[in-house]
Amino acid sequence: MTRWFEHDRLRYGVGIEDTFIPQIRPGHRRLDEYELTQHYSHWREDLDLVAESGAEFVRWGVPWYLVEPEPGLFDWSWTDQVAEHMRSLGLRCIVDLMHYGTPTWLDNAFLNSQYPERIASYACAVAERYRGVWDDFTPLNEPIVNAEWCGEMGNWPPYLEGTDGFLTLVRVLAKGMVRTQQEISAVNPDAVFVHVDAGFRYEGETTPLSRAILEERRFLALDLITGRVDDAHPLRDWLGEHGYTDEDLVWFAANAVQPDVLGVNYYPTFTTIRMDEKGGKSPVVAGTAGLRDLVQLYSARYGLPIIITETSLVGSPEEKIAWLRESEGEILALRSEGVPVVGYTWFPFLDLVDWLYRFDEKPADAWMLDFGLVNLVRGGDQQLARRKNAAFEEYQAIARRHRR
């Protein structure tokens, strides 16, 4: 049977931002994007808008911390409704199982010795309950970004810092990704795995990490789960210096899993980063040249079908329309050259609240970012009304054209 990503057609989708960091501490508020954007109360309207846009699929995440409020105890009351409505609308859901945050009961978050088995058990429960409705899964969104925020910069639990922290997080996240895919495959042999990575691009000199290490470490999680990290790997010595053992690499090689589709996230205004001699970072506008570069890099390295799983920009409707047209043109050019790009996702579909909200006291509206094809506008009743902007119609026209 030919699977959806094996058809020679470009599919359009959208995504709803689903970052969940439920842990609080002095100066750090809970960050739940569904709560902040009122998706919990407007979910039916939001999904109706997704269907109206012409999207064939939606990237949508399960809030693990709410679905499994206690270890092994699941509450499906809300997700059952969402799954049924997606089915009735004919939307394929690429399920985000882990979008950064763990439940509060998991002591020390990703450092908990049971994390790989806990995430796998939860993922298995989701896959088993919704088999035939939800069959497409992302085991963990953007592992390298996750490792940076949780393990290198100390912003999110377990609040590690530095290179040791970063690499500790990559290792445990990768083990969780492997165990998740293994457990889902056991209960749903028809499952499709869409692994999603944020492939940063770098310009300039870097310290304390060399440009060579930065260029390679963006691939590290995918290289680990696919069993590619051996003695010949460019980062092997660096990993050894920071605690990776032969036993670690043997385990990944013995348990290697293969994505079916590789998701590449690309934002034209900040995916490319210029580094100065002191390690300072500043974003660079790279446009379609950066998109082409990343897609070609990931395609050549892994030889898998590619989906653009996130792309968009903060700006006026006219700027969004321009990016829709430019990025569509570049994707079509890549496909004509034989690069297997099978999907395109505008992400986020709705506006979102900047992650920096977590570290501030200002209201959510002060941190609202105008990414969406649908804007969120607060009314006197404090509800966030959904307002389609002109880019919605442009996206709709493009998506419908590719469904013919």
Q: What is the pLDDT of residues 216-259, one digit of tens each?
A: 999 999 999 999 999 999 999 999 999 999 999 999 999 999 99
pLDDT at residue 353, as a whole number: 98
Is the pLDDT assigned to residue 276 strictly greater than 90?
no
Sign of CA dihedral 164, 169, 171, 172: positive
Q: Tell me how far CA of residue 71 lies from CA of 103, 105, 110, 114, in angstroms.
A: 9, 8, 15, 11
* Gap between the Cα atoms of 352 and 271, Å rounded: 18
Q: Which amino acid is at 403?
A: R
Taking each helix axis from N to C terminus, what angle separates 162-187 and 246-254, rounded to the nearest 10 degrees? 20
| Mean pLDDT of all residues in 112-130 | 98
Length of the chain: 404
Q: Tell me how far CA of residue 256 lies from CA of 252, 368, 390, in angstroms.
A: 6, 40, 45
Confidence of residue 277 (pLDDT cuts 50, 70, 90): confident
Confidence of residue 199 (pLDDT cuts 50, 70, 90): confident
Is the pLDDT assigned to residue 397 strictly greater than 90?
yes
Is the pLDDT assigned to residue 149 strictly greater than 80?
yes
Is the pLDDT assigned to residue 205 strictly greater than 80?
no
pTM: predicted TM-score of the whole model, two decimal places: 0.96
Q: Tell me how far CA of residue 117 lies from CA of 97, 120, 123, 179, in angstroms.
A: 14, 5, 10, 7
Q: Which domains occur in the chain, in start order?
A: 11-402 (3.20.20.80)
pLDDT at residue 1, as a whole number: 74
| Mean pLDDT of all residues in 91-113 | 97
pLDDT at residue 403, as a whole number: 85
Comparing CA positions, the residue from 106, 241, 78 lying closest to residue 167 is 241
Cβ neighbour number for residue 176 with a 10 Å cutoff: 25
Comparing CA positions, the residue from 292, 232, 227 lying closest to residue 264 is 292
Is the pLDDT assigned to residue 329 strictly greater than 80?
yes
pLDDT at residue 203, as a whole number: 86
Give me the residues paired with residue 273 across strands: 202, 283
pLDDT at residue 212, as a whole number: 86
pLDDT at residue 79, as a whole number: 98
pLDDT in tens, 48-101: 999 999 999 999 999 999 999 999 999 999 999 999 999 999 999 999 999 999
